[in-house]
Structure 1
Amino acid sequence: MLVKVLSDGKHAKSAYGEIFFSRKHPSKKDFIIISASTLLRFLTFERTSNYIAKNQRYSHVGGNMLHRSLKAFLFILLVCFAFASTSFAGVDNADVVIFEPANDGGRYITQRQSSTLQQWRFNVGAYFDYAFEPLEFADQTGTRRAGIVDDLLMANLGAALGLTDWWQLGVNVPVAIWETFYDPNALAAAVSKQNLFGKPGDPRIDMKFRLLDIDRYRVGLALVPFFYFPLGTESKFLGNDMWSGGGTFVVDFDIKNRVFITLNAGYRNYKRIRYDAGNANAILDDTINLGTGLNVRINDEWAVIGEIYSESVWDKVFKNQLQNPVEGVAAVRYSPQSTAKGLSITAGGGRGITTGIGSPQFRAFLGVNYRKPAVVELPEPVSVEAVVEEKIVITQRIHFEFDKSVIREISYPILDDVATLLHLNPQIQQIRVEGHTDFIGGDDYNLKLSQKRADSVRTYLIGKGIAAERLVAIGYGETKPIADNNTTRGRARNRRVEFTVIE
């Protein structure tokens, strides 16, 4: 991206004009005082342990796991505070890193989804992205005169853990693997390209609170508070050298489990700085962050993703061209279901739409995530003797094509066993094939889909030699649950097929 730098020509102390003279500030020790006794009380977890014991809200095992997880999280906070508070004084600066992947391995890339990781499920992953010319020097006409950051190869390491089914913790650590940098404050004769390796950016810790369950209502809401630590190499535009917190509000939509859309609106608090004395727009202050993402599910393993995201200074929303990066990206994602369930590989690219700091001429990225899948253990299928009790319950799931009533081949052996059972019991003159769903989706839609799938099972059994008059198909939708629809295990049990003996 090209940065317009307005210089009056009277203070030409650098190669390109008076640009990016950042004001020194006192040591970070002056900005934070941490009480050791308070931290020790947090780390010994006295209050939370007493609260759990007093209210009896958690089991012994669950409480201990929550205890250990929060202690580990607070320990990370302590390390970050300690590291930052003992660092040397730095310089306030703009940050060229605007590609910040979500750390929970969700449906999108940088944009958030409302769903949280289930309790004790986790995600670990890494995104690698290359940005070409994310920060350049230009004259008043917008013509590029020289580079500041020509090449930037970043690694973003992320991890997240679900503490409950509606609350998760996450962390993101950015590292500049390679950066080509031209010091804008150097004398004209001394400007040369610097190849920098392994420079850190500002790490982020966040939480996500799910407010509305998209799996149940097809619309989801979440709140994501976050905090950035000033551990980056701010002199190379990898971080701001300031403590910075904020939050993002998320609303997303599920359209027939095929198309997913998310809208993100965030606010980030900064200490107001001016990082270029020669540019009236070189002001970093509180920012508004807006973004949207689209995920189209092609099948169980492939999806395409598109995003647009932006940042703008609060008091000059979309008016400060310098501090208003906007970028669009697109990607394809592969998630193997049979060989490595939980793994996803994302590859894509994009480019800056505006010339704000961090918007590149183009970007390419590759991401790998492992999101531990939820495992639901179901009871064993009932035995043949169940016929005596006038009901055969198929607790092994019968699989259908996505959003259709076409039975998948992997379910044929289950239905073959039912056909064999009916052949061996000719005294059963008529049975009812009953289709049931969980409560995800609309009532009418679930009712119709369950009827079509019950009809498909009936047709399959007729094809196996069962007389048509012995089979009656009825779909009940979500009206007859046998388990709690608010849990993953319960929903899995409710998605079932039953055969009831009529006569």
Structure 2
Amino acid sequence: MARIFLRNIFLILLALASFLPLPVEAAFNADVVTFLPANDGGRFITVYESSTLQQLRFNLGLYFDYAFEPIEFADQTGQRRRGIIDDLVIANLGGAIGVTDWLQLGFNVPMAVWETFYNPNLTATAVRKQSLFGKLADPRIDFKLRLLDIERYRVGLAIVPFLYFPVGREEYFLGNGMWSGGGMLVFDADIQNVVSLGLNSYYRVYKRFRYDTNNVSAIINDTIGLSGAMNVRMTRSWSLIGEAWIESVAESLDELKNGTLVHLQNPAEFLIGTRFQPQKHARGLGFTIAAGRAMTAGIGSPDFRIVTGINYRKPAVAKLPEPVEVEAVVEEKIVITQKIHFEFNSSSVRPASYPILDDVATLLAANPQIQHIKVEGHTDNVGGDAYNQRLSDKRAKSVAEYLVTKGIASDRLYPVGYGESKPIADNTSSRGRARNRRTEFTVVDAF
């Protein structure tokens, strides 16, 4: 079945590629579309996270960004002479789908909704402004291959090969006019389920060319890029996001060694924004707004940028067996053999696990002679001891809080986490670790 699914994905991509209006003899030029949102709806805006979407889980998003003066003519002192592009509004449609639980396919299709353009080939300082609408820029497809799972190890690693299609109108600086591919290395980390850090480094391959014959530094060649991001979770629904990125022509590294940097293709920028993700109604939606500006005078670095976006990321579905009746024997344990699922990086019980806990609540309500129950949370040995201890504490409390909402008196419940200290199976195997990740209810007092 997986082979058939992959074959269908390939045929869809092939069909889509056949409709792309590829230029026959495109000229090469610089590309001012430097804002590209991550297409899988992760924790950041443009920076990729290492996590991949589960098989057939998807994300679909639409971002708008306004860039003011992303490219202009300047004199030798860096002062503006006149504009080339003064206003640029890009609509970026992007999405991704999980091919397997560790591999996903994504795409981005940017379009210049509005562009004010001044012909750079005219030497006069007063050049007629053109207003352009609905011009495509270069689409991109990518694959993300997860190498290290952040959900288990608190740090994650992935690689992202990508390919750009020469569809954009290069005369309006909306594309380079060439096929261009490369690869990205993705690293991220999670701190206490509150702060997420991301770091991306990529290499993109170009044909070397000069896009402005009047300037010997107007060279495009293979580029390297580095970007970093931080997401701070303020509440379950609100988070703050900060990002920064820089790109440079690879050969300019030699210039840096000599203490000079003359290439023009060195855009650098930062963004600060916030995101709202509803947790009850409309779960899976995300609303993002951000603003930032250039840190250098490179091609595509605007005086300021405003970003707004909406995306839908299908919530993960926990595959659980049907709930079974739970039988209790006084002075022994009530063991939950089915895995209770929690939200990613959280102690919140997923709704898919409610039926299991409902059975436990029914059992306790029917046995009032069980006066006190200890709710025990246990983990495997993956991750740090201190982290596992805290996580098991929080998840045991969440289970107890849920039972209280079902009518069980809180003074009957004693939540406690044991972390990885009480394994019941061998942690060297995945099956053993799965058995150790469990919830137990111990009868403390009964009559």
TM-score, normalisation: structure 1 = 0.75
CA distance in 1, matches of 2:400, 2:315: 33
Q: 1:136 to 1:451 in 2, by over 3 A?
A: closer
1:178 maps to 2:104: no
Offset from partner CA, 1:429-449 (integer Å, 9 cap, x none)? 876542224666423432354
Question: 1:264 — aligned with what?
Answer: 200
Partner secondary structure for residue 331 of structure 1: strand
Partner secondary structure for residue 445 of structure 1: helix
Partner secondary structure for residue 133 of structure 2: strand
Shift of 1:474: 5.6
List gaps (5 residues or longer) in structure 2. none
CA distance in 1, matches of 2:281, 2:397: 32
1:134 maps to 2:70: yes
Shift of 1:494: 7.0
Q: Which of 74, 90, 97 is the equivalent residue of 1:161?
A: 97
Q: 1:485 to 1:200 in 2, by over 3 A?
A: farther
Q: Which of 332, 340, 351 is the equivalent residue of 2:282?
A: 340
CA distance in 1, matches of 2:10, 2:108: 17
1:364 maps to 2:309: no
Partner secondary structure for residue 224 of structure 2: strand
Partner secondary structure for residue 251 of structure 2: helix
Q: Which of 365, 372, 376 is the equivalent residue of 1:434?
A: 376
Partner secondary structure for residue 245 of structure 1: strand
Determine if contact 1:398/1:497 at 8 Å carries over to the other structure: no
Higher helix share: 1
Shift of 1:140: 1.3
Offset from partner CA, 1:67-95 (integer Å, 9 cap, x none)? 31232123334444xx42xx342321111
Question: 1:328 — aligned with what?
Answer: 270
Shift of 1:190: 7.8
Identity in percent: 55
CA distance in 2, matches of 1:213, 1:434: 26
Q: 1:494 to 1:75 in 2, by over 3 A?
A: farther
Offset from partner CA, 1:390-419 (integer Å, 9 cap, x none)? 54345695989x97899xxx9998876454
CA distance in 1, matches of 2:424, 2:3: 30
Determine if contact 1:422/1:466 at 8 Å carries over to the other structure: no
Superposed, 1:216-295 pairs within 5 Å as: 216-295=152-231
Q: 1:281 to 1:499 in 2, by over 3 A?
A: same
Determine if contact 2:202/2:225 at 8 Å carries over to the other structure: yes
Q: 1:473 to 1:359 in 2, by over 3 A?
A: closer
Question: 2:16 — aligned with what?
Answer: 76
Shift of 1:321: 5.0
Q: 1:269 to 1:388 in 2, by over 3 A?
A: same
CA distance in 1, matches of 2:283, 2:32: 35
Superposed, 1:171-210 pairs within 5 Å as: 171-186=107-122, 188=124, 191-210=127-146
CA distance in 1, matches of 2:28, 2:107: 23
Superposed, 1:57-68 pairs within 5 Å as: 60=1, 62-68=2-8
AA in 2 matched with 1:420: A
Partner secondary structure for residue 188 of structure 1: coil
Q: 1:454 to 1:156 in 2, by over 3 A?
A: closer
Question: 1:422 — aligned with what?
Answer: 367
Determine if contact 2:330/2:443 at 8 Å carries over to the other structure: no
RMSD: 3.7
AA in 2 matched with 1:267: Y
Question: 1:302 — aligned with what?
Answer: 238
Shift of 1:111: 1.1
Question: 1:446 — aligned with what?
Answer: 388
Query: How many residues end up aligned between the 2 structures?
Result: 427
Determine if contact 2:200/2:227 at 8 Å carries over to the other structure: yes
Determine if contact 2:372/2:411 at 8 Å carries over to the other structure: no
Shift of 1:453: 6.0
Q: Which of 325, 334, 339 is the equivalent residue of 1:392?
A: 334
CA distance in 2, matches of 1:377, 1:297: 27
Determine if contact 2:318/2:341 at 8 Å carries over to the other structure: no
Determine if contact 2:108/2:140 at 8 Å carries over to the other structure: yes
Offset from partner CA, 1:102-131 (integer Å, 9 cap, x none)? 111111111111111111111111110000
Question: 1:313 — aligned with what?
Answer: 249
Determine if contact 1:111/1:291 at 8 Å carries over to the other structure: yes
Determine if contact 2:219/2:263 at 8 Å carries over to the other structure: no
Q: 1:257 to 1:322 in 2, by over 3 A?
A: same
AA in 2 matched with 1:294: M
AA in 2 matched with 1:498: E
Offset from partner CA, 1:468-490 (integer Å, 9 cap, x none)? 7xx87663424547999999xx9
TM-score, normalisation: structure 2 = 0.84
Determine if contact 1:310/1:326 at 8 Å carries over to the other structure: yes
Mark the structure with the bigger radius of gyration: 1
Once structures 1 and 2 are overlaid, which stretch shifts more, 309-318 or 117-126?
309-318
AA in 2 matched with 1:106: G
Higher strand share: 2
